[in-house]
A = this chain, B = another copy of it.
Amino acid sequence: MKRDRVEEIAELLDKRGKLTLEQLDDYFPHVSQMTLRRDLYQLEQEGRIIRVRGGAMSVKEVQKVSGEPYTKKTAIHTDEKIKIAQKAARLVDENTSLFVDGGTTAMYLAKELPDINVHVFTNGLAVAIELAQKKNVHLTVLGGQVLKDNLSTASPVAKSYFDNTNFELAIISASAFTPENGFSCASQVEADLLKMTRKKAKSMYMMLDSSKIGKIMPYTFARLEDIDVLITDDNFPAELKDKFTQRNIVVM
């Protein structure tokens, strides 16, 4: 009842960006302004909105506003990435352990992941901070030198973590893909890390928005047939899709 209303307010704010108390009052004529205020206060505590004079605004809205969260990367193809992340989040079962990489898409995945009992390993600082908000998620960060452009860590030393850990699933993303060159990224240590991940994980899901297709980055870390599931957006070319499905790779 209360929670329903609070959720509705949150959704409204995500859609509209910003609302005044008066507007909210119009949406919820059967409750008092004070109640709405209290709802907003609660959402603020949860970090989902920001109260401003006269009403409140969605955090998501602010994040989209002119600027770069970490790199200029995040600004582009945001909506696709969020959709992909939502798909991926639905594939994570409770009581599993999984690896998540440090990319932008992975950060959205971290946001979309429900607060369920899973153990996540990641080399992404932004991913870690998002996941740290969730009470039921166990979280381990791989240490190492920090790559400043994407806020991920990578270092040979990370291997020592992997020696004693296991995970069923790895959900990763790539900076570039072509059928010939496979999935590639810009950093060698990162590529090494992801290769190692491939060996450790029982299955591997790849998040790839269609803007990455046709691009080539210096270091290939996986080939087409190395993955089990490809999570992408609606602009993914049909003829490419066949190449995956022919190898029993699920494309979604």
**Which residues from chain A sit less than 8 Å from chain B, CB to CB?**
44-47, 50-53, 57, 59-60, 62-72, 111, 125-126, 128-133, 135, 138-146, 148, 151, 153, 155, 157-158, 160-161, 164
Which B residues are CB-close (under 8 A) to A151?
A: 129, 132
Which B residues are CB-close (under 8 A) to A69?
A: 44-47, 63-64
Q: Shortest distance in angstroms between A135's beta carbon and chain B's nearest beta carbon?
A: 8
18 contacts between A and B (CB under 8 A): A47-B67, A47-B70, A50-B62, A50-B70, A51-B52, A52-B52, A63-B66, A64-B69, A65-B129, A129-B151, A132-B146, A132-B148, A139-B145, A139-B146, A140-B143, A140-B144, A141-B144, A143-B143
Tell me, in angstroms, the Cα distance from A131 to B153 when the chains sit together: 13
Q: Which of B71, B111, B158, B164 contacts A143 (CB 8 A)?
A: B158
Tell me, in angstroms, the Cα distance from A132 to B66 when the chains sit together: 12
- Each complex incorporates copies of this chain amounting to 2
Q: Which of B53, B63, B128, B140 contacts A62 (CB 8 A)?
A: B63
Q: Known interface pairs A59-B62, A59-B67, A71-B44. Does A143 touch B146 (Cβ–Cβ under 8 Å)?
A: no
Sorted nearest first, the 4 A-B pairs with minimum C-beta distance are A143-B143, A67-B133, A139-B146, A63-B69
For A148, give the chain B residue with the smallest CB separation.
B132
- A141 touching B146 by the CB < 8 A rule? yes
Which B residues are CB-close (under 8 A) to A128?
A: 125, 146
For A119, give the chain B residue with the smallest CB separation.
B145
